[in-house]
Amino acid sequence: MTRVLLTGAAGFIGSHILTALAPTFDVVAIDAMLASAHGTENRLDGIDRVDVRDHDALVTLLVSTDVVCHQAAVVGAGVDAADAPAYASHNDFGTAVLLAAMAEAGCRRLVLASSMVVYGEGRYRNPSGRIVTPGPRTRLDAGQFDNTDPETGEVLDWTLVNEDSALRPRSTYAASKLAQENYALAWSLATGGSVTALRYHNVYGPHMPRNTPYSGVAAMFRSSLEAGQPPQVYEDGKQARDFVHVSDIAAANVLSISADLPGFTALNVSSGQPITIGEVAQALSDACGGPAPEITGKYRSGDVRHIVASPELARETIGFSASISPDDGLREFATAPLRDAEGAGPPRV
């Protein structure tokens, strides 16, 4: 039976992957149980408390391991500059330590949790159909949210992001995820090992963390509705995204472990069904009979306008197609249980 070391096993995504792997694989599950993610909870449920920055502990676990499924990371866009050392320490340095331990122990297969955030602003076409890199959005205060052609000023339309699209991280978290990919690629070249980097798009589903500055927008909308308040939608609500259910994320990891692709392969993991942020808020409000969303016109300067993935390469390469549509998944998510543990403060080193 294939032995898998699963890092970040107590987290939102990691816990779903653990459930999906358990029937077929011999799983060793570890998690650092950071207070910023898990609060003061100490319920490990068969998960060993191990920090991926602990080289010696990892080597011991990896000696007879066939593949590592690396989900451990500090997540979210980051609230302020003080968060940067934690992202660099847990995500970048932690991944580097893990890779060094894998090399020492002779483990040559890695499935890495990456993210759509490595693409930054996404991919756009001008009215003539030419791919254009948009300029900065400088008129947000005036309610002009669309990306424009820096040469003509024309509004740009989003187009699907492929795995070979430009990588331009725009947040601390994004920078750390791209660094993880770069370390993994270098490790693959140096050792002959294989890496499948799964670029998750907007993940949601049961047991998602409750409303914190590091939560996903779907959980924030849920928290507002539970309080009887309208979901607060930034900009004009027309930002296009791809929301993918966490059970599909788990399925993509199972397929990646089974496929054992050679070299370094990056794959989008998405539903393939674009939806706007405003539509997400409305779907959740409708499903639970809550107040209608409020389109606030507010914005966050680091946010991207649109980012929508092409799911084709994952379908062709590992046979992955999302089984849960955003319509069905969000309807379920509107009343699904969320994680009770609230993070205890911001992530720190």
Q: What is the DSSP string of 16-48?
A: HHHHHHTTTSEEEEEE---HHHHTT----TT-E
- In the predicted model, is pLDDT for residue 3 greater than 80? yes
pLDDT at 328: 97
3 state DSSP class of 194: strand
Closest CA to 94 of 186, 10, 32: 32
pLDDT at 80: 73
CB atoms within 10 A of CB 300: 10
pLDDT at 347: 65
**DSSP letter string over 259-283?**
H--SSEEEEEE--S--EEHHHHHHH
- In the predicted model, is pLDDT for residue 83 greater than 90? no
Segment 56-80, tens digit of pLDDT: 999 999 999 999 999 999 887 666 7
Query: What proportion of the chain, given as a percentage, has pLDDT over 70?
Result: 93
- In the predicted model, is pLDDT for residue 330 greater than 70? yes
In the predicted model, what is the mean pLDDT of residues 28-37?
A: 86
3 state DSSP class of 83: helix
- In the predicted model, is pLDDT for residue 96 greater than 60? yes
